[in-house]
Amino acid sequence: MEEGAHLAYSPLPALLVLWPLVAALFVVPLGRWRESIRNAFVVVATGVALLGATALIPLIATERRVTCEIPGLVGRLVFTVDSFSMLFALFTTFVWFCSTLYAIDYLKHEHARDRYHVTNLVVLAAMLGVVLAGDLITLYLFFEALGLVAFLFVIHTETDDAKRASIKYFWMTPIGGFLLIGGIFLTYALGGTGAIGPFPAEHGAETLRWAAFVLLLLGFGVKAGMLPVHVWLPDAHPVAPSPASALLSGVMIKAGAYGIFRTVTALFRPEVWEHIEETLWHFSSQIGLVVLWAGIATMFIGVVLALGQHDAKRMLAYHSVSQMGFILAGIGAAGYLGAEGAMGYAGGLYHIVNHALFKAALFLGVGAVYVRTASLDMYKLGGLWKKMPLTFLFTAIAAAGITGVPLFNGFVSKCLVHHAIVEAWELHEVWSLGVAEKIYMITCGGTACSFIKLIGLVFLGKPKAEYGPEVRDASPRMLGAMGLLSVPIIVLGWRPDLLLKGVFEPGLHTWGLESEILEHFLDVYFLSYADLMSVVWAFAIGFAVFFLGMRWGLFRLKAPEWFGVDHWYRRGAIGLVTACEAVAEGYEALRQLDSRGLRRLGVAYHAETDHADRAWRRFTVTLFTGATGLHAQYVIQEAYVALERERQATVHYAIDAAIRRLREHADTDQEHRRAMIDAVRDISSYTAMRLFKERMGVLSDTLHVSRSDDVRYAFARIAGELGAFRKPVAETAIDLARRRIEGENVLRETSAATNRVMSEERFDRRLDSAMPCAHRTARPIREALPSAAAVGDLRDRGLGTLEQTGKWAADMARLIVQAVTQERVTWMMADHVDTGSVALTRRQIQRYARDMSFNVAVLVVVLLAFLVALAGNR
Partner 1 sequence: MGAGARPPYTNPIPQGLILTGIVVAVSTTALALSLIIRIWKQCGTIEADELREMD
Partner 2 sequence: MVSWPQWLSLVALVPLVGAVTTPAVSRGRSRVAALWALGVMTVTSFAALMLILRVAREGPFSYPFGGWKSPIGIEFRFDEFSASIGIVCLVGWLAVLYSQRYVEHALEEPRIPYYYTLLLLNFTGMIGFAVTGDLFNLFVFMEILSLSSYALVAISGERTAEMAGFKYLIMGAISSLMVLFSIGLLYASTGSLNMADISSRIGDGAVGPIPLAMALAGLTVGFMVKAALFPLHIWLPDAHAIAPSPVSAILSGLVVKTGLIGILRVYQIYYGAKVLDLSSLNTMLVWLGAISIVMGAFFAIFQEDIKMMLAYSTISNIGYIVMGFGLASPYSVIGGSVHIFNHALIKATLFLAAGCLIHKTGYRTLYDLRGVGKAMPLTTAALSVGAISIVGIPPTAGFLCKWYIALGAFEAGQPFFGVALIFGALFIFVYYIRMVNSFYFRQPVHPEFLEVGEAPASMLAPVLILASLCLVMGILGRIPLSFIEPAAHRLLAPLGG
Query: Under rule CB under 8 A, which residues in 208-247 are in contact with partner 2?
Result: none
User: Contact between 844 and partner 1 (CB under 8 A)?
Assistant: yes
Separation between Cα atoms, residue 100 and residue 120, nearest integer Å:
8
- Residue from the set 841, 857, 859, 864 that interacts with partner 1 by CB under 8 A: 841
Separation between Cα atoms, residue 32 and residue 114, nearest integer Å:
8
User: Which three-class secondary structure state does DSSP give residue 535?
Assistant: helix
Question: Between 572 and 601, how does the x/- string for binding to partner 1 read (CB under 8 A)?
Answer: ---------------------------x--
In angstroms, what is the minimal distance from the CB of 208 to partner 2?
8
- φ/ψ of 650, rounded to 5, equals -60, -50
Separation between Cα atoms, residue 657 and residue 663, nearest integer Å:
10
- Binding segment toward partner 1, per CB under 8 A, in 17-25, 176-184, 511-519, 838-846: 838-846
Name which of partner 1, partner 2, none residue 845 binds, using a CB cut-off of 5 to 8 Å depending on partner kind. partner 1
Contact 212, 248 (CB under 8 A): no
- Closest CA relative to residue 568, chosen from 187, 229, 262, 837: 229
Q: Which neighbouring-strand residues pair with 7? A: 65
Question: Between 597 and 626, how does the x/- string for binding to partner 1 read (CB under 8 A)?
Answer: --x---------------------------
C-alpha radius of gyration, the chain, whole number: 52
User: Contact between 189 and partner 2 (CB under 8 A)?
Assistant: yes
Closest CB to partner 2 among residues 487, 580: 580
Question: Between 571 and 610, how does the x/- string for binding to partner 2 read (CB under 8 A)?
Answer: ---------xx-xx--------------------------
Q: Which residues contact 605 (CB under 8 A, 6 or more apart)?
A: none
User: Contact between 140 and partner 2 (CB under 8 A)?
Assistant: yes
In angstroms, what is the minimal distance from the CB of 858 to partner 2?
5
User: Contact between 862 and partner 2 (CB under 8 A)?
Assistant: yes
Separation between Cα atoms, residue 87 and residue 54, nearest integer Å:
10
Helix axes 431-454, 529-552, angle to 10 degrees: 60
Separation between Cα atoms, residue 40 and residue 35, nearest integer Å:
9
- Residue from the set 73, 603, 612, 845 that interacts with partner 2 by CB under 8 A: 73
Separation between Cα atoms, residue 75 and residue 480, nearest integer Å:
42
Handedness of CA 662, 731, 754, 656 (dihedral sign): negative
Handedness of CA 825, 826, 827, 831 (dihedral sign): positive
Contact 686, 748 (CB under 8 A): no
User: Contact between 21 and partner 2 (CB under 8 A)?
Assistant: no
User: Contact between 720 and partner 2 (CB under 8 A)?
Assistant: no
E strand residue ranges, 496-585: none
User: Contact between 41 and partner 2 (CB under 8 A)?
Assistant: no
Q: How many residues touch partner 2 (CB under 8 A)? A: 48
- Binding segment toward partner 2, per CB under 8 A, in 30-38, 161-169, 347-355, 660-668: 161-169
User: Contact between 815 and partner 2 (CB under 8 A)?
Assistant: no
In angstroms, what is the minimal distance from the CB of 587 to partner 2?
8
User: Contact between 837 and partner 1 (CB under 8 A)?
Assistant: no
Closest CB to partner 1 among residues 576, 852: 852
Contact 481, 98 (CB under 8 A): yes
Separation between Cα atoms, residue 754 and residue 729, nearest integer Å:
8
- Residue from the set 28, 59, 167, 460 that interacts with partner 2 by CB under 8 A: 167
User: Contact between 863 and partner 2 (CB under 8 A)?
Assistant: yes
Closest CB to partner 1 among residues 279, 855: 855
- Closest CA relative to residue 94, chosen from 129, 42, 50: 50
Instruction: Write the DSSP assignment of 199-237 as a string of letters.
Output: PSTT-S-HHHHHHHHHHHHHHHHHHHT-GGG-TTHHHHH
**DSSP designation for 9:** E
Phi-psi region of 154 (alpha: psi -120 to 50; beta: other; left: phi over 0): alpha
Closest CB to partner 1 among residues 578, 595: 595
- Residue from the set 95, 123, 145, 778 that interacts with partner 2 by CB under 8 A: 145
Q: Which residues contact 197 (CB under 8 A, 6 or more apart)?
A: 1, 266, 267, 272
- Residue from the set 43, 141, 324, 778 that interacts with partner 2 by CB under 8 A: 141
In angstroms, what is the minimal distance from the CB of 582 to partner 1?
23
In angstroms, what is the minimal distance from the CB of 848 to partner 1?
5
- Closest CA relative to residue 265, chosen from 211, 317, 315, 328: 328
User: Contact between 845 and partner 1 (CB under 8 A)?
Assistant: yes
In angstroms, what is the minimal distance from the CB of 59 to partner 2?
27
- Residue from the set 848, 861, 865, 867 that interacts with partner 1 by CB under 8 A: 848
Q: How many residues touch partner 1 (CB under 8 A)? A: 9
User: Contact between 851 and partner 1 (CB under 8 A)?
Assistant: yes
User: Contact between 171 and partner 2 (CB under 8 A)?
Assistant: yes
In angstroms, what is the minimal distance from the CB of 838 to partner 1?
12
- Please report, as a single letter, which amino acid is at residue 70: I
Contact 293, 363 (CB under 8 A): no
In angstroms, what is the minimal distance from the CB of 585 to partner 2?
9
- Closest CA relative to residue 400, chosen from 442, 358, 439, 360: 358
Name which of partner 1, partner 2, none residue 871 binds, using a CB cut-off of 5 to 8 Å depending on partner kind. partner 2
Question: Between 94 and 133, how does the x/- string for binding to partner 2 read (CB under 8 A)?
Answer: ----------------------------------------
Strand order in the sheet with 65-70: 7-9, 65-70, 77-81
- Residue from the set 279, 745, 835, 873 that interacts with partner 2 by CB under 8 A: 873
- Binding segment toward partner 1, per CB under 8 A, in 90-98, 311-319, 815-823, 839-847: 839-847
User: Contact between 871 and partner 2 (CB under 8 A)?
Assistant: yes
Buried b / exposed e over 726-754, threshold 16 CB at 10 Å, is beebbebbbebbbebeeeeebeebbeebb
Closest CB to partner 1 among residues 279, 835: 835
CA 489 to chain centre: 47
Would you tell me which residues interact with partner 1 (CB under 8 A)?
Answer: 599, 841, 844-845, 847-848, 850-852
Would you tell me which residues interact with partner 2 (CB under 8 A)?
Answer: 71-76, 137, 140-141, 144-145, 148, 163, 166-167, 170-171, 174-175, 177-178, 181-182, 185-186, 188-189, 580-581, 583-584, 852, 855-856, 858-859, 861-863, 865-867, 869-874
